Chains A and B, each alone.
Chain A
Amino acid sequence: MQTISSTQTKFWLRVAFKGFTLFVIANLVFPFSNIDYGKFSLYNLIFMGRLRLPYSEQPSESYNVTITNLDAMFASHILSGKPKFSTEYRVLLIGDSATWGYLLLPDQTLAAYLNEMQLHTPDGKQVVFYNLGYPVMSLLKDVLLLKRGLEYQPDLVLWLVTLESFPMQKQFASPLLEQNQSEVMRMLNDLELNKAMPTPPLVQQPLWKRSLIGQRKALADWFRYQLYGFLWTATHIDHAIPDEIPEKQVDLSADTEFYSQSPPNFDPHFLAFAVLEAAFHLATPTPIILINEPMFISNGLNSQIRYNFYYPRWAYDEYRNLLANFCLERSLTCWDIWNLIPPDEFTNTAIHMTPQGTAQTAQWIATALDKWMQKR
C-alpha cells in the first residue's frame, strides 16, 4: 500500500465527517420514520417459512433467534407464505411451550402430528394446522398472538392452556409483551381488559432507545434471524435438543401454596379468566376450542399433596372446576385432557411431552375434532 497524499488525507477526513453526520441524522430520523422492517422477510420468499414462531436459547445450534418484533415473527411463519385456498380449513394452535414443541423437532410438534393425519372436514376441505404456540406461560401472550393470527382468516382456533398461564401476576411477565407494549396496551383498551386487570403503566421509551443505536440488538437479531433462514431451509432444524435432557421432578415438596394462594380456594381475582373471556369476544365469529392440556401426574414423594412441580392438588382441582364452569356458563367447547398422557411421556417439566406423548395427544384431538366437525 502506498503512502497517500495530503489531498487524499483531506478527502478521507471529509468522508469520515460526512459519514459521521449521516450516521447521526439516520439515528435521529429512525425513531420517527415508522419503518416496519419486520414486515420484510426472506422467509417465504427465498427461504422456507418457519413452522413455529422464532424462539431459541442456543441460536448457533438451532439456527433460530428469539425475536420479539411481531411483524417479523409472523412474516417468517409459514402462515404468512400460504394464501388460503377455498379447499383449506385453517386451524391455528395457540398455547405455551408444550404447543410450541419444546424439546421436539419441528416434525414432532402437535401441529405437525395433526397435519400428518391429513384430516378433512365433512365438506371435503383439508384441515391444515398452524403452530402459533410460544414458550411463555401467559394467557395475555396467547391473546396477543391470537389477535395477529386472526388476520390470516382461520376457521378454528385450538387454544391449549394450563393453570400456570392463568395467574394474573404472570400476564405481563414476558419480553414479548414488554417489547410490544404499545400493541398490548391498545389491545387491552380494545378488549376493555384494562378495567379487569391491573395493567402496568405504558412507558414511553426515550429517543435514544428508539434510535438505530438503541435498537441495535433488535436489528441485529432480526438480521441474524433472516440469515439463519438458510440453515433452517437446509437442515429443517429450528430447535437444539440436548443429548441429555434433565429429568422432570418426581419427588415433590410438601408445599401447598400456589404462588401466594393457599387452600381451599383461589382469590376471586387471582386467575385471569377475564383474558380468556376477552379472547373469545376477539375471535368471534371464529370458534375457539379450549383444551386443558395434558400434564405429568407424579407418584413420587408428596404426590398426595401435589400433582407435580407446578401444582398443589387443591389448586389444580379448583382450577379445573372453575374452567369447567366457565365453559359451561358460556356454552363453549372445552376439552379437558389433563390426565390423558402417562407419566413416562413427559420430559423435563410437567407439560413438555415426548414425541410419543405429543402424537398421542394429537390422536385424541384429531378424533375429538372430527366428532366436533361432524356435529357442526
Chain B
Amino acid sequence: MSIQQVLLLVFLAFLCGRVKNHRIRNFLLIVSSFVIFYRFQTATPIFFLDFWLPTFAILMALTVWAATQTSLKKALKDNLQTLVIALLVISLISANRYLTLCCITATRPPHLWVVLSFIVIFFILLAVFVLAIPHGTRLGLLIIAFIAIFVVLKTPEFSLLLSKVLRWINQQDPRFSSPNDLVWLGISYILFRLLHLLFDSRAGRLPPANLAETLCYIFFFPALVAGPIARFPQFQAELKKSPQLEEVVEGMQRVFIGLFRKFVLADSLALLSLSPQNAPLIQSSIYLWTALLAYSLRIYFDFSGYTDIAIGSARLMGIRLPENFNAPYLKTNLIQFWSSWHITLADWFRSYVFNPLARKLRLNSAMPSWLTILIPQLSTMLLIGLWHGISPNFFLWGAWHGVGLFLNNRWTSLRKSAPSSRFQALQSFFGWGLTFAFVTLGWVWFLMPTFDGAIETFRKLLGFGL
C-alpha cells in the first residue's frame, strides 16, 4: 500500500466512526470496504480480472453466509436490504465503465449486462446449492473448494494453468500467461475468515449473524490487505460499539506508529536488506549478516507497521482488532516467539490444525508421546510455511520452525528444574540470542527461492565460498 492509500483508508475509517447509527454504519462499512477492495486491486493482464477477482470474493462471501443459514428464505427476507446494497455497489462499480471519468477499478470494468447476467446465474446456482445439499455437506464442500482455491493460487504451476484458461476464455494469447496474472488482493485473509466461519458453523460455534455483520467481518477494509485475522464472535461484539474520543486519539497514535514503522523504518531497511538478487553478489560474510539482520528487522517493521495501521484505523471506528505482534524479537525461546509473531495466523492454525490433530494423536495410545508433539507441530508449521506459497523454500522455512519448536518443547520438558536466579538472567540472554539467531537464519529459507541458493547463502554466512 502506498502512503496515499493508507491516508485514504484512515480518512474513511474516521468518517465511518462518526456515524452513530450502527445499522447505517455497517452499510457504510460495506460500501467503503467494497470500494476499497475494487480500488486497491491491481490491474492484471487478463481482461476485466481486476473487476472479477473482488466480485468473486464478494460472491464467495455471500455463498458462505447463505450456506451457514438454516432457513435461506427467512434469512434472505431479513437481509434483503444488505443484499441489495451489496449488489448495487457491484453494479455501480461496473457501471463506471460508462462514465467519462472511468474507473474505480484499475482498468475498465465489463459491461453491466454481463455482470448482472452473471449475478443472476450465480443466485440460481446458489439457491440450488443451498436448497439441494444438506447443511453439513455443503459446508464441507465449501471448505474443500476454498482450500483448493488456496492451493491453486499459491502453486505457481496451477496459477499458470488457471491463467492460461482465463486467457483462453477471454480470447487472449495463452503463451503470455504467468502465475503473476492472478494477484488477488487480500484473498489469503478473506479465505481464512471464510474458512473460520465454515469451521465454526460446522462445529456449531458460530453465533447467529446477519449478512451485514458477515460482510463487514470478511471485508473490513482496515484489515483487508494484511490482517489481522479477527474471530467473528469478537468482531461482531466490537461492531456494536461506538468510538469514544479517547479511542480516536488512541487510533491516530497507533496509525502514526504504523506509518513510521512501515514508511520510515521498514522502507529504509529495505535498502539494506538481503534479497535473492543481492545475496549471491555480497562479497563478505559480515555484510551478508548485516543484510540478513536488516531483512529480519524490515519484515517485522513492515508487517507490524501495516498491523498498527489496521488496528489504529479500526480504533477510529471504536472497533478493537486483535493484536498481531507482541515484541517477537525480544522473546527468549521459539515457543514464545510463535505466540507473539503473526499471532492471529498462529492462533488460527492452532485452532483448526494443531489442536484437532494433537487431540486425535493423543487418543492413539500406541504412539510415543514425542511423536504426538512432533507431528502436529511440524504439520502446523509446514502449513504456515506453505500458506506463503507452495514452493520448496516455504516448505523448508516451515520445517525449520517446526523442528525448532519441537526441540524447544523437548528441551523445556527435559529441563527438570528452573535455573537459580544467579543464572536466570544469563540464560534469558542466551535464550534470546539463540531464538533471534534461529529466526533470523530461518529467513534465509523464506527469502531464497531455491534450495541451492539458500545453502549457498548459509555457506557464505559461515565464511565459506567467499
Contacts and interface: CB of A to CB of B under 8 A. Distances in A.
Contact of B249 (A4, A227, A230, A236): A4
B5 interface: no
Q: Number of contact residues on B: which range applies?
A: 20 to 34
Contacts of A231: 271-272, 278, 282, 291
A236 B250 contact: no
B284 interface: yes
A227 B282 contact: no
Contacts of A234: 278, 281-284, 287-288, 290-291
A235 B281 contact: yes
A5 interface: yes
A9 B291 contact: no
A5 B246 contact: yes
B351 interface: no
B290 A9 contact: no
B247 A235 contact: no
B234 interface: no
Contacts of A235: 278, 281-283
Contacts of B254: 1
A12 interface: yes
A318 to B, nearest CB: 46
Contact of B277 (A1, A61, A227, A236): A61
Nearest to A236: B283
B284 A227 contact: no
A3 B247 contact: yes
A13 B252 CA distance: 10
B272 A227 contact: yes
A9 B250 CA distance: 8
Contacts of B294: 230
Interface string A222-240: 0110011011011111000
Nearest to A227: B271
12 contacts: A3-B247, A4-B246, A4-B249, A13-B249, A16-B252, A228-B271, A230-B272, A230-B290, A233-B287, A234-B283, A234-B288, A235-B282
B268 interface: yes
A193 to B, nearest CB: 39
A6 interface: yes
Given A3-B247, A234-B278, 4 more contacts: A3-B244, A4-B249, A6-B246, A230-B290
B364 to A, nearest CB: 43
B245 interface: yes
Interface in B294-351: 294, 323
Interface of B: 244-247, 249-250, 252-254, 268, 271-272, 277-278, 281-284, 287-288, 290-291, 294, 323
Nearest to A16: B252
B250 A3 contact: yes
Interface in A188-232: 223-224, 227-228, 230-231
A284 interface: no
Given A3-B244, A235-B278, A9 B249 contact: yes
A321 interface: no
Contacts of B247: 3
Contacts of A4: 246, 249-250
Interface string A4-41: 11101100110010000000000000000000000000
B295 to A, nearest CB: 12
A6 B245 contact: yes
B282 A224 contact: no
B314 to A, nearest CB: 12
B444 to A, nearest CB: 16
B426 to A, nearest CB: 32
A1 B283 contact: no
Contacts of B268: 223, 227
B131 to A, nearest CB: 46
A227 B271 CA distance: 6
Nearest to A12: B249
- Give the one of B245, B252, B272, B288 with max A CB within 10 A: B272
Lowest 5 CB-CB distances: which A-B pairs, in order? A234-B287, A235-B281, A227-B271, A234-B282, A230-B272
A20 to B, nearest CB: 12
Given A231-B272, A234-B282, A1 B250 contact: yes
Contacts of A5: 246
Nearest to A237: B281
